[in-house]
Amino acid sequence: MAAFILSRILQAIPVMLVVALFSFAMFAYVGDPVAIMLGQDFTEAQRVQLVHDLGLDQPFFVQFATFVGHALQGDFGLSYRLSRPVAELIAERAPATLELAFCAALVALLVGVPMGVYTGLYRNSWLSRAFLTFSLIGVSLPTFLIGILLILVFSVWLGWLPSFGRGDVVQLGWWSTGLLTLSGLKALILPSITLGMFQLTLIMRLVRAEMLEVLRTDYIKFARARGLSNRAINFGHALKNTLVPVITIAGLQLGGIIAFAIVTETVFQWPGMGLLFIQSVGAADIPVMAAYLLLIALVFVTINLVVDLLYYLVDPRLRIGRGAAGGH
Amino acid sequence: MPAAAPITGPVLSVRDLRVQFPTRRGVLTALDGVSFDIAPGEVLGVVGESGAGKSMTGAAIIGLLEPPGRIAGGEIRLQGERIDTLPQDRLRRIRGRQIGAIFQDPLTTLNPLYTVGRQLIETMQAHLGLSDREARQRAIGWLEMVGIPAAAQRVDSYPHEFSGGMRQRVVISLALCAEPILVVADEPTTALDVSIQAQIIALLKRLAREKGTAMMLVTHDMGVIAETADRVAVMYAGRVAEIGPVRAVVKAPKHPYSAGLMASIPPLDRKVAHLSGIEGAMPRLSAIPPGCAFNPRCPHVFDRCRHERPELIETGSTRAACWLYDPASEKQAPELLRHG
Amino acid sequence: MAVAAALSRALDSDLWWSFRRSPVTILSAVVALVCILGAALSPWLAPHDPFDLATLNLGDAFKPPSWSAEGDLLYPLGTDDQGRDMLSAIMYGARISLLVGVSAVVFSILVGVGIGLLAGYLGGVTDGVLMRIADIQLTFPSILIALLVDGVVRAALPRELHDRIALFVVIFAIGISAWPQFARTVRGSTLVERNKEYVLAARVIGISQLRIMLTHVLPNVVGPVLVIATLGLSSAIITEATLSFLGVGVPPTQPSLGTLIRIGNDFLFSGEWWITIFPGAALIAMVLSVNLLGDWLRDALNPRLR
């Protein structure tokens, strides 16, 4: 188990390094940080001093190592746009994004998986057809349009739910949560549905496809031949086998939720990291972009690791090392 | 030892079974007028080339035809009771309990995510209403009975921890654990190494005899049939060409197709791709010729074969679907076929 | 004569058969055709020129659709805050959306097919590195990649230069975000072909292997590439609309459907819903019909699926 985790972590390191290299290249070569930081009036001596202070006169790999070293300590420099430490900006906004992403993932899984199982089992029922049509529309609707339509119906016409912001938040140490107040929860509903919709339809289609695949296998046929009840076959044998591939892809898709939060946060003016990022792209605020990219990569790598672990727990074939007894 | 069912007639009786597949280009008839009986404790071998309908006959009997295949005619009786018309729920309680099934590939037949013990226990509990403790004890007992060493430990192993031959032993224990009166074994040794095939066949034979279980053994391997079966049915293009005691059919086949089949018995370790004794190939389901399905390939064909479809005709100790044995035909079987 | 033969062969094919059998596919083909023609021919078909400031009349601003009480038949889908005819604006906007979408897909086909051929043909380290990059990129959603590329280019270029070529930047950003899928498909097919005997034979008799592979690999990948391209078109259109909605896409002087939706979004609360909803509906119609065509094409070209 420990060896398994270790090997996965070792595999993740090159990916992080490639992303870090990209971030660094952005950081170092895109735009001119010296010019941006100096402003209009400066002397040549000041410029040279700043270049030296920033370490820009060092060889490439020394600079890169310094960048990685700083990044590991959570130091990403100052935002060009806001002149505040990037780490501080991100820490401030992370709770909003993470809570939103968590609720969206919950929506996607709790609705998507049952819908997928149902459409896989009863592929010709009218409800399955309705679900499939719904999923096709869900895939074709851009996230921001879903948000706008939801706002139009539930905020503008019906006036039930707020259309922007987080509502009242409660401060728990440095973490600000909207989960503990009624207005905070109400504010979460529309953004979570908006953000979860695409993943929901995707997970539903995925579970359905896997379910159909598994139901065709010999061991399901054999389970029927053994006279097991439909319930035991569908929800015991079939569903469990469906989960193995579904966990992988669904896990990766959930990572996408964090990225898609950019759009949802813009639509609902949700004060999270995505909104920060999009403002930074608009203002070419490279340090924030670089840090955000690294953070997203870290999230993806972590999710990958968790997915691998889950996979390991579900599938006994992975628990045995190579060389164990096996027919072929 | 539980006694076999009282001998009041055949365990399984199939009459004029007809299976059809509606497809884009019309309805295909995969089985056409298949009839046979299996007596209590008897082993009936079913042979033929791939696509002759052997496996489909087995699937129809256990009520697990792949959609869109469906039974379009005839009847299947288990101990006199019609089972082809039963609702799925009733049929489910017959499957596993009264008819066990063994599939071809042991590597894909077991659910990879459950231990073999759990799969045995759930099967027995579905049919026999055993307590957890009792079911587990019996599961270990069954693993011992099919020859799995250290069964008490292996009961908690996953399928991938067994070799192919061991897995097929597990599959056999799963098929027999609810003590059915009939087992449908579909190519139970085809996917196994030659060295293991004989062991599995011996095991099946022994268990069937001990438990008094009747068996329908589907295979393309005449060697297995000759060794295991009491009677044999030769299938061709979805029909029974000949049926009779193994000894008679092997030694003195009556139907020209069976004769060709016996003449080309391949070595034990090779699958039958083409039969060297017979020219041509079996027709596709969409192009079965009128009259006798075998007529385009038959060395003894005559006019009647091309227009009229022969029923099974009693000849010697076997019955063959061949006009050569109808006294009213203008052509009669040559000496070679009459006496083998 | 040859044309007639080709036509009759096309009408007899399985593709045509499955097309005619599916009413949904026919309907989406019609919708897609209407969208494409309406967009492409907007300068000639649109009732107004939304960019001609002389014809704009602020007195006509915020007119609701023609069927409502205060509607005006002159503006079938109403007008925006500037008094622009929505229908015309949508047609012109769809033209930009389509232009960016198609160009981006063509760009990613060129990059993807090129890299895929290269990786499959050269194999070894090149293959490993290229496919690893593709893998890493595939783990991130394309919208994120497009945003990053757009942001980097924005930061790298002087402002007026960027404004001038903004449309190409968007095409480049979206195109770059979608190449790995094409590369993977082509690489797989190339690997299969590379080990076939005629390629080895070509080497023996001294014909350029690359050339002979091109002539054999390309026909094989036309089907899958077409499917990915069709589905890729709808996602490119969505990505463009999203970028523009976020305000980092096409320049405001060339508004796409996404730009129109962003502008209209500001008026959602004051009740002028049509300024957002109609461009949104046009976007959905376009994307949904292209998606349905792509799904149909995928199923029709892959007989294993039903």
pLDDT tens sequence across B125-184? 999 989 999 999 999 999 999 989 999 999 999 999 999 889 999 999 999 999 999 999
Choose the closest CB to C155 out of A31, A136, A263.
A31
Mean pLDDT over all residues of chain A? 82
Asked if residue A252 and residue A108 are part of one domain, the reply reads yes
What is the reported pLDDT for A37? 66
Residue A310 covered by a domain: no
Judged against a pLDDT cut of 70, whether residue C1 lies above it is answered with no
Last residue of a domain, one of A221, A245, A271: A271
Are B325 and B242 contacting, i.e. CB atoms less than 8 angstroms apart?
A: no
Q: Which of A161-170, B145-154, C94-103, C224-233 has the lowest average pLDDT?
A: A161-170
Query: Do residues A110 and A52 both lie within one domain?
Result: no
8 Å CB contact of A317 and B93 = no
Task: Specify the residue for token string 């919708």.
Answer: C31
pLDDT in tens, B271-296: 554 555 677 788 888 888 999 999 98
Q: Is residue A278 part of a domain?
A: no
Residue to mutate among A121, A210, A219, with most B CBs inside 10 A, is A219
Residue C304 has a pLDDT of: 46
A327–B163 CB contact, under 8 Å = yes
Of the two residues C273 and C202, the one the predictor is more confident about is C273
Instruction: Categorize the per-residue pLDDT at A136 as very low, low, confident or very high, splitting at 50, 70 and 90.
Output: confident
**Min Cα separation C290/chain A (Å):** 9
Q: Is the dihedral of CA C214, C216, C218, C224 positive or negative?
A: negative
- In this structure, of B83-97, B216-230, C49-63, the range with the lowest mean pLDDT score is C49-63
Tokens coding C245: 């909605």
Give mean pLDDT, residues B9-15.
92
Q: Which of A41, A72, A103 is the last residue of a domain?
A: A72
Check CB contact of B122 with chain A, cutoff 8 Å.
yes
pLDDT score of A324 more than 60? no
B62 touches chain A (CB under 8 A): yes
- % of chain B residues with pLDDT over 90: 46
**pLDDT of A11 strictly over 60:** yes
Q: Which chains touch C (3 or more CB pairs under 8 A)?
A: A
CA-nearest residue to C271 within chain A is A156
Does the beta-carbon distance from C139 to A255 stay under 8 Å? yes
Mean pLDDT within A38-63:
76
Going along chain C from its start, the domains and CATH numbers come out as: 38-46+77-305 (1.10.3720.10)
Question: A132 and A257: one domain?
Answer: yes
* C140–A259 CB contact, under 8 Å: yes
Q: What is the pLDDT of residue B4?
A: 47
Percent share of chain C, pLDDT over 70: 87
In angstroms, the CA C84 to CA B83 distance is 74
Q: Does residue C226 carry a pLDDT above 90?
A: no
Nearest by CB to residue A151, choosing from C147, C268, C288, is: C268
Mean pLDDT highest for which of A298-302, B144-148, C33-37, C256-260? Answer: B144-148
Least confident piece of the model among A287-301, C56-70, C77-91, C188-202:
C56-70
Instruction: Pick the range with the lowest mean pLDDT from A6-15, A138-147, C177-186.
Output: A6-15
- Asked if C261 and A148 come within 8 Å (Cβ–Cβ), the reply is yes
In terms of average pLDDT, the best of A266-270, B120-124, C186-190 is B120-124
Kindly state the tokens that stand for C101: 């979408």
Which residues of chain A are within 8 Å of residue B218 when distances are taken between CB atoms? none
CB neighbours of residue A164 within 10 Å: 15
**Do A126 and A205 belong together in one domain?**
yes
Mean pLDDT over C270-294 rounds to 86
- Is the Cβ of A235 closer than 8 Å to some Cβ of chain B? no
Instruction: State how far the alpha carbon of C208 is from the alpha carbons of B50, B239, C120, C200, C201, in Å.
Output: 45, 56, 16, 11, 11
Tokens, residue B147: 């020859």
* Tokens found for residue A16: 């992080």
Q: With an 8 Å Cβ cutoff, are C136 and A15 in contact?
A: yes
Residue A317 lies in a domain: no
Asked whether residue A326 carries a pLDDT value surpassing 70, the answer given is no
Is pLDDT above 70 for B6? Answer: no
Interchain pair B112, A241: CB under 8 A:
yes
Q: How many domains does chain A have?
A: 2
A315 falls within a domain:
no
Q: CA torsion, points C159, C163, C165, C167, in degrees to nearest 10?
A: 130
Structure tokens at C19: 């097309």
Answer whether residue A276 is part of any domain: no
Examine residue A227 and state whether it is found in any structural domain, yes or no.
yes
| Rounded mean pLDDT, A185-212 | 89
- Taking the Cβ of residue A280 and every Cβ of chain C, the question of whether any pair is shorter than 8 Å is answered with yes
Q: Identify the burial level of A66 via C-beta atoms within 10 angstroms of its C-beta, where 0-12 means exposed, 13-18 middle and 19 or more buried.
A: middle
**Do A63 and A101 share a domain, yes or no?**
no
Q: Which residues of C touch A164 (CB under 8 A)?
A: none
Q: Please indicate, yes or no, whether residues A247 and A104 belong to a single structural domain of this protein.
A: yes
Whether residue A74 is predicted with pLDDT greater than 50 in this model: the reply is: yes
Angle made by CA atoms A163, A165, A171, in degrees to the nearest 5: 145
User: A152: domain CATH number?
Assistant: 1.10.3720.10
pLDDT, mean of residues C246-253: 82
A149 touches chain C (CB under 8 A): yes
Would an 8 Å CB–CB cutoff place B96 in contact with chain A? yes
On whether both A98 and A41 belong to a single domain, the answer is no
Q: Mind telling me how many Å the CA of C206 is from chain A's nearest CA?
A: 40
Contact A262 C151 (CB under 8 A): no
Per-residue pLDDT band for A300 (boundaries 50, 70, 90) equals confident
Give the mean model confidence (pLDDT) for residues A176-193: 86
Residue C306 pLDDT level (bands cut at 50, 70, 90)? very low
The single-letter code of the amino acid at C243 is L
Closest chain C residue to A269, measured at CA: C246
Domain shared by A123 and A222, yes or no: yes
User: Cβ contact (<8 Å) for A142 and C245?
Assistant: yes
Mutant choice from C28, C97, C148 vs A, greatest count of A C-beta within 10 A: C148
Question: What is the mean predicted confidence (pLDDT) over C240-254?
Answer: 85
B165–A contact, CB cutoff 8 A: yes
The domain in which residue A133 lies consists of: 91-271
Determine, for residues A226 and B101 on separate chains, whether the beta-carbon distance falls below 8 Å: yes
- State the average pLDDT over residues A3-17: 80
B210 token code pair:
């001990």
pLDDT band at B7 (very low <50, low <70, confident <90, very high): low
**SS3 of residue A173 by DSSP:** coil
Question: Does the pLDDT at position C119 exceed 80?
Answer: yes
pLDDT at C100: 92
Query: B302 — contact with chain A (CB < 8 Å)?
Result: no
CB-CB under 8 Å, B93 with A228: no
CB C50 within 8 A of CB C92: yes
For C147, the closest chain A residue by CA position comes to: A281
Contacts of residues A21-24 at CB distance under 8 Å and 24 or more positions apart, as own/partner, are: A21/A64, A22/A293, A23/A67, A23/A71, A23/A290, A23/A291, A23/A293, A23/A294, A24/A63, A24/A64, A24/A67, A24/A68, A24/A290
Q: Identify the DSSP state of B320.
A: E
* Same-domain status, A184 and A260: yes
How much is the mean pLDDT over chain B? 87
Indicate the pTM of the whole model. 0.77
pLDDT of the residue at C2 = 58
3 state DSSP class of A132: helix
Same domain membership, residue A60 and residue A157 = no
Band of pLDDT at residue C71, cut at 50, 70 and 90 = low
Helix orientation angle between C86-122 and C257-265, rounded to the nearest 10 degrees? 130
At B266 the pLDDT is 55
Out of A72, A103, A120, pick the residue that ends a domain. Answer: A72
Write down the pLDDT at residue A67.
Answer: 81
A101 and A30, same domain (yes or no): no
Q: How crowded is residue C63: how many other Cβ atoms within 10 Å of its Cβ?
A: 22
Is A256 part of a structural domain of the chain?
yes
- Are B122 and A325 in contact (CB < 8 Å)? no
Residue A260 and residue C143: Cβ atoms within 8 Å?
yes
Chains that touch A (3 or more CB pairs under 8 A): B, C
Nearest chain A residue (CA) to C237: A142
pLDDT band for A193, please (50, 70, 90 cuts): very high
A189, part of any domain: yes
| A65 and A95 assigned to the same domain | no
Closest in A227, A314, A326 to B126, CB measured: A227
Question: How many Å apart are CA C9 and CA B340, to the nearest integer?
Answer: 55
Mean pLDDT of B22-28: 81
pLDDT at A56 over 90: no
Q: Read off the pLDDT of each residue in B104-114 and give the average, rounded to a whole number.
A: 89
pLDDT higher than 50, residue B1: no
A146 or A327, which is more confident? A146
Q: What is the mean pLDDT of residues C55-74?
A: 70
User: Are the CB atoms for C180 and C138 separated by under 8 Å?
Assistant: yes
Give Cα C90 to chain centroid, integer Å. Answer: 17
